[in-house]
Amino acid sequence: MRFRLIPSAVFASFSLCGVVRAEMPALIPLPARAELKEGRFVLKPGTRVVAGKGLENEASFLTERLLRSTGQAPGSAGDGAEIRLEIVPALGAEAYALSSGPSGATVRGGSAAGVFYGIQTFLQSLPAAAFGSVAAPKEDWSAPALLVEDNPTCAWRGMHLDSSRHFQPKAFILKFLDAMAAHKLNRLHWHLVDSEGWRLEIRKYPKLTEVSKDAPAYYPEEIPTNPSFRAKYRYGHLHGGGHYTQDDVREIVAHAAKRHITIVPEIEFPGHAMAALMAYPEIGTTGKPPTAVSNITTDLIGVHPKAMNFLKDVLDETMELFPGPWIHFGGDEAPKVQWKNDPYTQKRIDELGLRVNDPQHPNASEDRLQAWMFNEMAAHVARKGRKAVGWEEIMHGENIRHLAKGSVIMPWLSAANGVKAANAGYGVVHTAVSPFYLDSYQSKDPGEPGALYQGPFTAEQIHRFNLFPDSLTPEGRGNILGAQCQLWTELMPRTDDVEYQAFPRTCALAELTWTAPERRADTEEFMNRLAAHGARLTAMGLNHRRSAPPASLKWTPAFLTASRPWVVALPAETRAKLLAGETLTLHFAYQEGAHGLDVTAVELLADGKAVAEDRHDGFTGTHPRQADYQLKLPAGSKPERVELKVTAKGSGGDDSHGEIRLGTRP
């Protein structure tokens, strides 16, 4: 029996204005197979969603999405084509097939999740406004006819969000989940506790969320776009701004589940625990409040019964709220000074037979104790069918031989340790600082917001990352679950800051983990699709960094010798952004040849007249210097023709190849 969604409202009349040339939509992530067919699919009166059994959620999602973007809901009257949703288990759980054309559209998936991902691709075939929340009924609500067959490369396609350092409201978390879903991402690693604030309500320990409540939500120095302050983090300083009640969490988890996203909560121990130790000093190693205000605090949660019971109590309430199979234990950056100096802790090391006399590794015994602590909690959550996840430190030294089997490791310091862990039989999620830490600069363009890591760590780097190094054994390759990007929020105090650092690099992560390596080999082609995809990010209401196609203008030896200075027309889309008041950014990128390119000046010509210039010596070669330029039209200028004039020469010769990468920023 099939489910028919028949709301009372119907689509307003949709029509095509003129002839529209069929063009492949800029699909992200790139499907395994996508082909254009003859004709177009058109939303018009009577278009309806028809769903098979078990797809009520997916039908509701599609109907609501179309209602929000078009202003009308699919109806039951008229002669409109159907949008059919079906489960075909033979496809594979997350796989889907999409076929659309003048007679209708059909999305088949191996499960409800597969159907959901097919819906996302169908929405990407429509105008970008389909992802908006403001009705745009005047859009041409049609799409090129498509045939798509698709399935993901990785089971773990994740984003990490730090809500501890700076709290984000519930509405933002829901919005972030929607943005993840639009890119077929399926894991949210939610960092809820740290030294700066404990954000999860634990009813047995109410003081946890009270410690930071009177602290400022953020400090002026932390605002990355504030020119009056040198942006910096305040590790260890408490940040107020709120916490999530258990009712909030239930709503967020339910929202995620409807979008086929599993939330992996992180309950950090034994380090990064200043807020917890301030609330309940008795769970610490010394039984006293922390003595140092620090994020990487030397004050550790202890291993005595009161501390261990505290952790089990917290994990019990956490598991009641988060039904997914994984609980993250943190485990990183835990200096062992207190444990080394505490008689009880040292006694426990001996009682447990963990003593190691290794002059080369003076903390080996304490590291083994942390592995024991991890395993105790892993066994505790395993009794409720859950698996433990930890950062890379849990495997350091000999610990990898002592960890509970079935644990998942996130190597952030060393990609080689990811290979080692996978070959040893542990699940691995790639999280390496470079390129997956998004608390980093996205480019070297002037005016980028402040960030902890200089980098830059770019979308291109993420897209090109090798998930499956040759050093993996066949078994090890199977243990690579996927990858995720990390949003550590020390310098992201506001939700706009989080969005800007996340997007569009999250789009590259989506394609890395979804699309087969051989299929996503062309990163330049991806960057071209990403530039078009920006309209969808804007429709979602995301404060994203604008992306330009990577190769807007090229130089060759023939071009260099033909004319100096060069005068070249700018693309129409670049002209439109300049007319809107945005700043043109240029990066001269050398590619090959015996010599680089010496640039002395770049000018902006409006109807043949120079109206802006950036004069400085820049060199692009194997060691580029000052190769970035910025130009902007005068306020109120509305030229018909906008051109670029470049004064440059080869550094010793004209045998140089490269490109001028164009971008704009507000």
- Is the dihedral angle over the CA atoms 83, 85, 88, 92 positive or is it negative? positive
Catalytic residue among 272, 304, 380, 544: 272
**DSSP conformation class of 665:** E
For the chain, the straight-line distance linking the first and the last C-alpha, in angstroms and rounded, comes to 52
By DSSP bridging, strand 480-487 and strand 427-430 are parallel
Catalytic residue among 282, 320, 333, 525: 333
Q: Is residue 350 flagged as an active site residue?
A: no
How far apart, in whole angstroms, are the C-alpha atoms of residue 156 and residue 332?
21
Q: Name the token pair of 80.
A: 């409109």
Q: For residue 144, give every residue at least 6 positions away whose Cβ sits within 8 Å of its Cβ, in sequence order, or none.
A: 22, 23, 24, 25, 36, 37, 40, 41, 125
Q: Name the token pair of 285.
A: 């190693």
Q: Name the token pair of 65.
A: 């999405």
Burial tier of 340 (Cβ tally within 10 Å: 0-12, 13-18, 19+): middle
Angle of the 505-514 helix axis to the 495-502 helix axis, nearest 10: 50
Q: Is residue 272 flagged as an active site residue?
A: yes
How far apart, in whole angstroms, are the C-alpha atoms of residue 425 and residue 389?
14
Question: Are 485 and 502 in contact, with CB atoms under 8 Å apart?
Answer: yes
Catalytic residue among 58, 94, 162, 194: 194
* β-sheet with 656-665: strand ranges across: 553-555, 656-665, 583-593, 628-631
Closest CA to 582 of 552, 607, 612: 612
331 HSE (CA, 13 A, CB side): 32
Question: Peptide bond preceding 362: is omega within 30 degrees of 0, i.e. cis?
Answer: no
**DSSP conformation class of 165:** S
Q: Name the token pair of 86.
A: 């079906």
How far apart, in whole angstroms, are the C-alpha atoms of residue 295 and residue 277?
12
DSSP E strand stretches across 151-222: 156-162, 187-191, 193-194, 197-198
Q: Is residue 194 flagged as an active site residue?
A: yes
Q: Nearest 5°: phi and psi at 647?
A: -105, 115
By DSSP bridging, strand 553-555 and strand 656-665 are antiparallel
Q: For residue 648, give every residue at least 6 positions away whose Cβ sits within 8 Å of its Cβ, in sequence order, or none.
A: 564, 565, 566, 588, 597, 598, 599, 600
**Catalytic residue numbers, as ranges:** 194, 272, 333
